[in-house]
């Protein structure tokens, strides 16, 4: 009975401390902003089972992933044994769940085996931290305290496993020595007990009792240490995955408050009306911890500080200040600092500090390419770019603060409908001397003709001299196949994508609503794009504003036509040239389009080679997140040079691209490496047209692809 009383008191103290901590965190959550509605529970459950319990993202690094998965799965099994210990401690029973029979034997055996596997894994993890210099464990955000905390947490887990093994050994040895029935199966414990066969039954009993108490007290201590440790993810990771965003990585959250403002501005009846006096002023974006959403804060608490995000960040890889891990850790640290003060003094309390600038610098924020490599890599589905873009939104819309080049880009979009200083009247110049008439939507509409597809040319296709050749190439393909399509021509304007990624949500939504109205006037249902950024924004973000379309990337379109046989391409049309392919971030990670471009390239050549970083592991070209329109932040080197070296290492003579920004950056990389004469950077559409033009074509006026490519 004494044992039960002591145990109950210990358990009450443990629960009391734990719930005090939980209540404190709940109060912090109350200061945050709402996020997305939690629904689609079936999809969330599947995501949780795949990512959290299946450890699929951990296995992106197979060897270390295997050991981490052993630890996670071991914890899941051993948790059942811990529950039994609590019941036994309160009720004074022994192995109370043994009535489960064979199921109990299986669970106990698995727990016994996993205890040794987890212990070995933890020793490996400790050795890596103590004796090896692992780059992703370092960084300005990784203070000495972080390393000590990690070592303490790992040591506690190791002690938990040792105490479990000695407990099982003591139990198996005592029951055997006493000729009593053994409940459960202990493969490892029985072997260890056999090593101490000289011990008496009393000594085995003592070993068991000491280990039992050591194990449960360690669990109680660990449970209350975790909320103050990096290993809080032991509790938070599974629910964080369950609550993770379900949309494609390329989608940014719509600011509904901006939508209301823009619609009022565009409505002649309300454009000049005074704002209601009783409506509180709402801050745009994130300046401080309380401006973040509950999900942002949940992410920060769940963060494992593993550094996988920072290890794949193109900005960090090339020596720039940005570390996605630091962004998340800084949010957690700032709430830890300001949260208690807001509890004491109210949410409006100002300590003359903020998350922006006191923790996270503008330089860090503007270095992000929004490539989503960090979000792709995170084993618990933290979305780092959402915080970065929201902080950019604050800078741009609240402070009118942005790099000068981006301000010029904003002005160009406002005045010219394009990121560059070109007139909208020149939007159809790319179609001159193409050899056939490119159909224009307004002209077809005047004749009562409705084409099946709108071909969205995009700003780069209309104004960038190099990318005009890509647009011409794809138009040739459409013409060759007899596709019913049209372009908007001078009615086309910027989708607003670069403005949105740069934080100017107001400008983005004004552009988007204008585009939606134009498309609505022509009853557009299907859109083909060559630019991945336009594809992403039409597919994922325009629906939030009422613009829902069937959007097809040109590579999906080409691969479909090749597979159905309507587009025939000679297998060796590239004469055996070795080709490698660069995955654009907004096709790959953002929208998981990996197989279509490769299928098209493989239909052109049998000599296809992958870069070392490919598919979801592909390195960004460095132009995303509005980087295309500004100078890069200071670092050791440029991202595009790093990526160009990946391509050159393959030995390929042709780098196939599928994005105007990627084409620009990789072309610059080849020039920097003095390889532009021997290595060609060509869009896949250009390669397809080159293959097509090896045979007589109809309706192209005899013009050869060489003229297009040169």
Question: What's the rounded mean pLDDT across residues 224-242?
Answer: 93
pLDDT band at 363 (very low <50, low <70, confident <90, very high): very high
- Tens-place pLDDT, residues 270-286: 666 666 666 667 899 99
Across all residues in the chain, what is the average pLDDT? 93
Give the Cα-Cα-Cα angle 504, 508, 513 (nearest 5 degrees). 150
pLDDT for the residue numbered 266: 78
Instruction: Kindly tell me if the per-residue pLDDT of 181 is higher than 60.
Output: yes
- Tens-place pLDDT, residues 542-563: 999 999 999 999 999 999 999 9
Two tokens, residue 688: 């397809």
Question: What's the rounded mean pLDDT across residues 626-636?
Answer: 96
b/e for 246-261, b at 16 or more Cβ within 10 A? eebbbbbbbbeebbeb
Question: What's the rounded mean pLDDT across residues 663-668?
Answer: 98
CA distance 682 to 667: 9
Question: What's the rounded mean pLDDT across residues 650-667?
Answer: 97
pLDDT for the residue numbered 265: 82
- Tens-place pLDDT, residues 680-696: 999 999 999 988 877 43
- Tens-place pLDDT, residues 331-345: 999 999 999 999 999
CA distance 168 to 115: 10
Instruction: Kindly tell me if the per-residue pLDDT of 460 is higher than 90.
Output: yes
Give how far Cα 53 sits from Cα of 33, 48, 238, 301, 307, Å: 29, 7, 8, 19, 20
- Tens-place pLDDT, residues 37-78: 999 999 999 999 999 999 999 999 999 999 999 999 999 999
Q: For the chain, which domains are there?
A: 2-30+61-242 (1.20.950), 256-269+284-401 (1.10.1060), 406-709 (no CATH)
CA distance 695 to 691: 8
pLDDT band at 267 (very low <50, low <70, confident <90, very high): confident
pLDDT for the residue numbered 698: 31
Put the strands of the sheet holding 608-609 in their side by side order. Answer: 608-609, 579-581, 654-657, 680-683
């Amino acid at each position: 009975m004494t044992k039960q009383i002591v145990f109950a008191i210990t358990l009450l103290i443990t629960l009391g401390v734990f719930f005090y901590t939980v209540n404190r965190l709940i109060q912090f959550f109350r200061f945050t902003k709402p996020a997305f509605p939690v629904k689609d529970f079936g999809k969330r459950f599947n995501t949780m089972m795949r990512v959290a319990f299946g450890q699929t993202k951990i296995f992106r690094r197979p060897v270390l992933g295997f050991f981490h998965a052993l630890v996670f799965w071991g914890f899941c099994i051993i948790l059942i044994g811990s529950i039994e210990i609590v019941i036994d401690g309160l009720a004074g029973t022994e192995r109370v769940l043994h009535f489960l029979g064979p199921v109990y034997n299986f669970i106990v055996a698995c727990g016994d085996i996993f205890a040794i596997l987890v212990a070995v894994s933890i020793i490996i993890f400790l050795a890596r931290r103590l004796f090896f210099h692992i780059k992703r464990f370092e960084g300005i955000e990784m203070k000495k305290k972080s390393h000590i905390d990690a070592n303490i947490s790992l040591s506690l887990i190791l002690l938990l496993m040792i105490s479990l093994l000695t407990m099982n050994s003591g139990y198996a040895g005592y029951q055997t020595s006493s000729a009593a029935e053994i409940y459960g199966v202990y493969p490892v414990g029985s072997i260890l007990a056999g090593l101490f066969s000289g011990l008496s039954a009393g000594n085995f009993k003592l070993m068991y009792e000491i280990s039992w108490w050591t194990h449960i007290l360690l669990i109680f201590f660990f449970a209350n240490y975790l909320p103050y440790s990096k290993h809080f993810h032991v509790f938070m990771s599974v629910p964080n995955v369950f609550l993770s965003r379900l949309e494609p990585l390329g989608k940014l959250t719509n600011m509904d408050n901006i939508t209301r403002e823009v619609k009022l501005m565009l409505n002649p009846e309300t454009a000049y009306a005074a704002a209601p006096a009783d409506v509180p002023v709402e801050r745009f974006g994130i300046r401080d911890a309380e401006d973040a959403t509950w999900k942002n804060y949940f992410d920060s608490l769940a963060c494992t500080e593993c550094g996988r995000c920072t290890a794949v960040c193109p900005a960090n890889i090339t020596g720039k200040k940005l570390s996605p891990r630091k962004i998340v850790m800084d949010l957690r640290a700032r709430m830890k600092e300001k949260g208690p003060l807001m509890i004491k003094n109210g949410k409006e309390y100002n300590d003359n500090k903020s998350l922006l600038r006191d923790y996270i610098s503008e330089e860090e924020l503007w270095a992000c390419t929004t490539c989503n490599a960090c979000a792709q890599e995170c084993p618990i589905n933290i979305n780092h770019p959402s915080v970065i873009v929201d902080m950019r939104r604050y800078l741009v819309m609240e402070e009118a603060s942005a790099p000068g080049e981006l301000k010029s880009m904003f002005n160009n979009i406002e005045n010219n409908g394009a990121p560059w200083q070109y007139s909208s009247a020149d939007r159809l110049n790319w179609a001159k001397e193409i050899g056939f008439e490119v159909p224009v939507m307004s002209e077809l509409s005047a004749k009562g003709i409705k084409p099946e597809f709108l071909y969205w040319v995009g700003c780069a296709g209309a104004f960038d001299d190099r990318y005009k050749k890509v647009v011409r190439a794809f138009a040739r393909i459409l013409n060759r196949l007899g596709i019913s399509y049209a372009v908007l021509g001078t009615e086309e304007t910027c989708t607003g994508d670069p403005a949105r990624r740069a934080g100017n949500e107001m400008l983005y939504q004004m552009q988007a609503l204008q585009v939606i109205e134009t498309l609505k006037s022509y009853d557009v249902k299907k859109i083909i794009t060559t630019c991945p950024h336009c594809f992403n924004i039409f597919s994922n973000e325009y629906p939030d504003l009422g613009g829902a379309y069937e959007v097809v990337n040109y590579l999906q379109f080409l691969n479909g036509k090749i597979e159905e046989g309507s587009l025939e391409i000679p297998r060796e049309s590239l004469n055996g040239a070795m080709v490698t392919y660069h995955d654009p971030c907004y096709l790959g990670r953002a929208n998981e389009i990996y197989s279509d471009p490769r299928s098209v390239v493989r239909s052109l050549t049998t000599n296809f080679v992958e870069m070392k970083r490919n598919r979801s592991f592909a390195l960004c070209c460095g132009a995303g997140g509005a980087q295309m329109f500004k100078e890069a932040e200071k670092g050791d080197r440029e991202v595009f040079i790093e990526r160009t070296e990946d391509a050159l290492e393959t030995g390929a003579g042709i780098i196939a691209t599928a994005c105007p920004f990627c084409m620009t950056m990789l072309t610059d990389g080849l020039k920097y490496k003095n390889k532009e004469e021997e290595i060609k950077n060509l869009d896949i559409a250009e390669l397809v047209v080159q293959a097509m033009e090896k045979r007589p074509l109809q309706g192209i006026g005899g013009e050869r692809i060489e003229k297009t490519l040169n």
